[in-house]
Amino acid sequence: MKTLVFVATSIVALASMAQDEVKAKDAAAPKQDAETLIQDYEKRVGKESLLKLDGGADIRMRYDIYDNLPNAGSANKGGAIAPAFVDYYRQRTRAWGSAYFGDYGLYIRLGNEFREYNNYAPSTNYKHFPDQLFVDNLYFDFKKLLYGRVDVRIGRQDMKLGSGRIVEDGTPSDGSRSAYFDAIKVTVRVSEKTSGDFFATYTKPVDNFLTIGDADGQNYNTTSYDGDVGPGKDDDLTEWGIGTYWTIKEIMEFRSISTPSTKMNPTGILREITLVLASSPDVSM
């Protein structure tokens, strides 16, 4: 009987010790809240595999006042000064959003710009509120293809290559309202210091598809020489072209040179070579 009591007491004691050990482990373990679980998941499968949503908006307010411009208007050709005084306000509003899952994603940006005039010629007094809502950007991204060396972007996109002296604004006729290209761009990373962009563009002068509303009865002409809207003013300047843009960087290091009279510290020279090849019948790239 004493033996049974001893065995039972021993089992209870062992169970109590095991329970105490479990409680101690639970107390030492980090709290598994939602944030901790997400961090653990990111460590196991990689942060880039999670769905990422982002968005935002911006408003630009601009006021233009000028007069005595040379060669302003059809009646003042030949460099003559136009005495007209121009005074107007313009406001651009944009809203954007993106959804990325790892290295693949979608980006969209909507834009609108309207103007209010205090003094301007009636023939060009248009673009009043609410004017036109348009799709400023809409593209798909496919990144890190072919062993992480290739990125592909397809759709309506801003494309400023380098400092933008050659390729920057795909819709120059609407001023700073937009700058997009309808394009495909492929970026190839040959090495850490060398990369190349291959692109093809096709931008129509008037966008009748990705817009809501118009500019006082007429759509914007985004690629024409004068940018005017209205009957007889929409010269068909469809811009298309193909091109490649390469950036090659090389750093050359020189070892220290020490002589009895002079000392030169290690230095470096950064060489950047940019090559642009483009072809288009009408394009102003």
pLDDT in tens, 222-237: 887 655 555 555 556 7
Contact yes or no for 111/178 (Cβ under 8 A): yes
Confidence (pLDDT) at 78: 60
| Three-state secondary structure call for residue 37 | helix
Any residues with CB less than 8 A from the CB of 219 and at least 6 apart, and which? Answer: 132, 206, 207, 208, 211, 229
Q: Residues of the chain with pLDDT > 90: what percent? A: 28
Q: What is the pLDDT of residues 170-214, one digit of tens each?
A: 888 888 889 999 999 999 999 888 899 999 999 888 887 888 877
Q: Which helix (H) or strand (E) holds 201?
A: strand 194-203
For the chain, the domains span 31-279
Q: What is the pLDDT of residues 17-44, one digit of tens each?
A: 445 554 555 555 555 566 676 666 566 5
Residue 247 or residue 27, greater confidence: 247
75-79, 87-91, 156-160: range with highest mean pLDDT: 156-160
